[in-house]
Chains A and B, each alone.
Chain A
Amino acid sequence: MKQSLELTVNGQSHELLVDPHRTLLEVLREQLGLTGAKEGCNLGDCGSCTVLLDGKPFLSCLVLAVEAQGREILTIEGLSQNGKLHPIQESFVQHGAVQCGFCTPGMILSAKALLDRNPRPTEAEVKEALSGNLCRCTGYVKIVEAIMETAKT
């Protein structure tokens, strides 16, 4: 039986009919067309599906859509404003922190959650915050650089 629920995603409210066992990742991607959050493992191991709920990073493949009701959901699509990139996005671009781009949305959202909470993190704190986001292309070096640079500005 589908259940009606209201999700607030990137500042917009959506009324949806959803099977209660659907994950937030499935609903974002398949019902709302927000495909920035990726499915890399569907087991909570890789971090590609990271989104922010009330500013905190969550693995959307492990969150049921119904659990996200009443919370502010931020996906990568909601990060740039009026066509202007968020400073973390801009820094990722400029520092070569992007290769294939599959892990990038999750990486950037984990970084945003960190910098909102701790605007001047140490390198160790950046690494701690990103330790749940796997990347096979970059070796993380330029990702850490990009975040440290954003924190300086």
Chain B
Amino acid sequence: MKDCANYSVIGKRLPLIDAVTKVTGEAKFTGDLFVPGMLIGAILRSPYPHARILNIDASRALKHAGVRAVVTGKDTAGVKYGALEHLRDEAALATDKVRYIGDEVAAVAAVDEETAREALDLIDVEYEPLPAVFTTEEAMRPGAPRIHDHVENNVSLSLHIPLGDVEAGFARSDFIFEDSFETQCVAHCPLEPHISLAACDGGQIVLWSSTQGPFYLRRDLSLTLKLPSSKIRVIKPFVGGGFGGKREMTAGDFCAALLAVKTSRPVKIAYDREEEFSATRRRVPMKIYLKAGVMKDGTLVAKRCRVIADGGAYNGRGPMIVASGASQMTLVYRFPHFLFEGHHVYTNNPVTSSMRGFGNNQIRFADDSMMERMAKELGIDPVELRLKNVRRPGETSLMGAKVTTCGLPECIEKVAERGGLHKKRAQNGSGGNGRQALLRGFGVASAAYISGCKLFFEHDSSAAIVKLEEDGSVCLLTGASDIGQGSNTVLAQLVAEELGIAFEDMRVVSADTDTTPMDLGAYGSRTTFVAGNAVLAAARDAKKQVLEVAAERLEADSADLEIRERWICVKGSPQRGMTFQAAVSAALNSPDGKSIMGRGYYNPPTDYDPRTRRGNVSAAYSFAAQSAEVEVNPETGEVRVINLVAAQDCGFAINPMATEGQIEGSVSMGLGQALYEDLVMEEGQTVNASFSAYKIPSVRDMPPVESHLIQTIDPEGPHGAKGIGEMTLVPTSPAIANAIYDAIGVQIKSLPITPEKILAALKEKRACS
């Protein structure tokens, strides 16, 4: 491992750069902004899962005291938006049809929230209800109602990816395993619901939004409002979590902007928690049919994977999520023959799209569940089976992922060893305490993930500016979006390290489409890796300039200078130097008046071909394994996770405390997805649209979490770092599922694993034995 002892800012457990602002309540989220003259907006949503809009009459609403404007699809250009042009199928306000309960039909701006909500009831919409479909089976049946006129059988994307010869692979395998798995629909549940505030200023629309990517949002607004992007400025204030749910433009963003233009007043639209649960994006539920061929000794030979994804009413990012599953299947374990078949299917359910893990969670639940059964039935230790087939550094996956650094074998060994210790301790301690009736089990699971990707654009770029200030402080301008994950902190650490200054000297401005350089946003675990490399480039540029100034003053060659602890000196002669601040100030207070600004950008070197969907999609891959130990009560079906060990190949942890924070947060989210969380639907209606009905883990549900950071120092990452934010979540649910399987001896193949499913499985097991 690289010697990290020489680092003074990176590799340290530093508090977040904005932690003080957050603990004092000073941090301003979009909802905390009150602009003079501000109106409050609200959105009218469809009560039907599928209906034609025959007429909208807003005259009663407009007469209501306090209402300032109403907009409907007729006030829009009706432009469809989304990431990839050929998959665009959604308008910000419905024009012809509504396709799910909650689909946006109109919006109102009024003097206050009550008036706005009252006015929604006064908009008369004439609908012609249409037959609706709520399952992928119904939707794909011949003759099923078409949700989008241009899409036959409601299948918006089908993938068929044959690699090697899967049938020959099965033929030569000693054993064949075949099973189907099902994952549920879960909600992101950021504590801050979606919110937008738009105002007209100086010929521009300025939008403050709870977004994960202001530049993406500006692009979608420019497209749908039919305005040049220079006429739109998107500002990201503090954002209260996103987890993938705040990646895409919302109707709230669009309508706030449109209503601000129409009324010439600022307009704020805040989604309430019910809207957040029932009408925003959610995770793509998948049915996964898996067949695997394996040799007696556990060597994997072939896999066939068929995925049917319930995309809901519009594409969102869903088709790419299905595609992402294909590359995931071939990344974690090695095998020579593979056939992937994936279908993204429209239904009249709310839209499913990006969520932390982007399709990997679903696939890994299926794949690592099958690995577990394989191990048990072949009589091979589950850890050994994984290690036998595990991805190794320097390999290229079947889909074309070029793996450089890979710490997955170490991750698996680590969780097996540490988890095993806990297990032993628990067993030793469990005698005679009257809890023998509880069933204990232990399970492991693995994951792999990209560090940024080039799935959506020709580039995956990020840019940065580093301004050196006269008082010796440094201001970083980055378009990267800190949404709570701590990217501003990590990026500031990288700049401070490069410039040889203290972390306290740093300020970060992020993110504003007019004042910060371009970045595509917080997704694909790209920020540390991509924006990190961009800020390093900008910092190096600034450093070069300040060293040139110092070299002149010190009568030395700038190549011989270094900066340490705010002191610029000739390497090896610390007495021959000047302060960093003096050099910056000298540059400015000279006849030149030179203001030092470094700039840089980074675009990862990848060679993915979107046509064949093959190639190297990311410039680095991170890996993880987790082990879980559970106690299952056979009388009640209740599961308690006793401990969870996570090992993460993060390349290099720029801030180990923040990295652990990502892991621990993931464990709580993964615990919820394994055991409790499920958006219950009845005929397209979300039944449990509140935190009291949709349970996310509270502090009392959390098991002890032991985190291990495996540092593999990636050659392409900033100081060796790779992305981690999403992958940490991926192995949690399958590890818990495998532990439950170990405990009760029956495998439950659908998430969440509820007490009812456990009791039913135990009953069936008893009936069979």
Contacts and interface: CB of A to CB of B under 8 A. Distances in A.
Contact of A99 (B31, B485, B690): B485
Contacts of B34: 30, 33
A19 to B, nearest CB: 10
Contacts of A76: 23-25
A16 interface: no
Contacts of A138: 661, 664-665, 668
A60 to B, nearest CB: 13
Contacts, number: 180
A38 B664 contact: no
Nearest to A29: B32
Interface string A78-107: 011000010001001111101111111100
A137 B239 CA distance: 12
Given A40-B193, A135-B191, A139-B702, A92 B23 contact: yes
Nearest to A45: B691
Interface stretch (B10-18, B535-543, B591-599): B10-18
B243 A136 contact: yes
B486 A40 contact: no
Interface in B650-675: 657-658, 660-661, 663-669
A75 interface: yes
Contacts of A29: 32
A85 B25 contact: no
B73 interface: no
Given A136-B241, A140-B699, A40 B191 contact: yes
Interface string A30-63: 1001111111111101101000000000000000
Contacts of B31: 35, 38-39
A35 B28 contact: yes
Nearest to A80: B24
A96 B240 contact: no
Contact of B23 (A98, A133, A137): A98
B705 interface: yes
Interface string B669-713: 100000000000000000000111000111110100100000000
A128 interface: yes
B692 A45 contact: yes
B699 A137 contact: no
Given A42-B272, A77-B25, A100-B191, A134 B16 contact: no
B643 to A, nearest CB: 12
A143 interface: yes
A104 B243 CA distance: 18
Contact of A127 (B193, B273, B691, B700): B700
B189 interface: yes
Given A75-B25, A96-B661, A102 B273 contact: no
Nearest to B659: A96
A132 B23 CA distance: 18
Contacts of A43: 273, 690-692
Contacts of A144: 699
A100 B483 contact: yes
Interface in B1-48: 13, 15-16, 18-29, 31-32, 34
Contacts of A128: 700
A141 B189 CA distance: 19
A104 B193 CA distance: 15
Interface string B465-484: 00000000000000000011
A6 B593 CA distance: 56
Interface residues of A, number: 55
A45 B688 CA distance: 13
B605 interface: no
A108 interface: yes
A130 interface: yes
Given A45-B691, A100-B240, A139 B666 contact: yes
A27 B89 CA distance: 42
Contacts of B660: 96, 141-142
B690 A41 contact: yes
A107 B188 CA distance: 20
A34, A37, A48, A135: which has the most chain B beta carbons within 10 Å? A135
A85 B20 contact: yes
A131 interface: yes
Contacts of A85: 20, 23-24
Interface in A61-79: 75-77, 79
Contacts of A99: 16, 241, 484-486, 661, 665
A96 B658 contact: yes
Given A43-B692, A131-B700, A138-B665, A100 B238 contact: yes
B181 to A, nearest CB: 25
B691 to A, nearest CB: 4
B755 interface: no
B21, B32, B238, B483: which has the most chain A beta carbons within 10 Å? B32
Interface string B180-206: 000000001111110000000000000
A139 B667 contact: yes
Interface in B516-563: none
A112 to B, nearest CB: 12
Nearest to A48: B191
B25 A142 contact: no
A98 B16 contact: yes
A144 B668 CA distance: 14
Contacts of B238: 100-101
B25 A94 contact: no
Contacts of B661: 96, 99, 137-139, 142
Given A99-B241, A127-B699, A130-B699, 15 more contacts: A36-B24, A36-B26, A38-B191, A79-B24, A80-B24, A89-B23, A99-B484, A100-B484, A101-B19, A101-B240, A103-B191, A108-B23, A134-B696, A139-B664, A143-B699
29 contacts: A30-B34, A36-B26, A37-B25, A38-B31, A39-B31, A39-B270, A45-B690, A48-B191, A75-B25, A77-B25, A79-B24, A93-B15, A93-B23, A100-B192, A100-B483, A128-B700, A134-B698, A135-B191, A136-B190, A136-B241, A136-B665, A136-B668, A137-B484, A138-B664, A139-B665, A139-B668, A139-B702, A140-B702, A141-B702
Give 7 nearest A-B pairs by CB, closest first. Answer: A36-B25, A100-B484, A101-B22, A102-B240, A139-B664, A45-B691, A76-B25
Interface of B: 13, 15-16, 18-29, 31-32, 34, 188-193, 238-241, 243, 270, 272-273, 483-486, 657-658, 660-661, 663-669, 690-692, 696-700, 702, 705
Interface of A: 29-30, 33-43, 45-46, 48, 75-77, 79-80, 85, 89, 92-96, 98-105, 108, 126-128, 130-144
